[in-house]
Amino acid sequence: MKLTLEGLDERVTAGQEIIKQLRHDDLAEGHCFMVFDDDLPDGQAYYEYPDGQISIEQLNQDNLDLPRIVIRELSFDEVEMVKRKHDILR
């Protein structure tokens, strides 16, 4: 099967729409939504919360009661920058 550039674009777009719907559903149910970013150190990711806040968090494998450690919460400007960078967050 040969995949054309147009076909690849359609698959990427469809994948992004699925992720956007998962994000919407998670946030609507009161859950956070995790976004990986290659620019963050290993083990860290962005976590968006239903109130719109985004923080950088790291997995805490040593404590199952507190599975993530909040590295820091992003400022309003940083949240906007992350949303521009990751189209799925719009």
pLDDT tens-digit readout, 18-52:
999 999 999 999 999 999 999 999 999 999 999 99
Which has more confidence, 12 or 57? Answer: 57
The count of domains in the chain is 1
Residue 15 confidence (pLDDT) above 80: yes
pLDDT tens-digit readout, 55-85:
999 988 888 788 899 999 999 999 999 999 9
Supply the range of the domain harboring residue 14.
Answer: 5-89
CA-CA distance, 51 to 61, in Å (whole number)?
Answer: 26
Q: Looking at residue 90, what is its pLDDT?
A: 77
Number of H helices, E strands in the chain: 2, 4
Rg, C-alpha atoms of the chain: 15
Q: Looking at residue 89, what is its pLDDT?
A: 82
Would you state the structure tokens that stand for residue 88, as one six-digit string? Answer: 């799925």
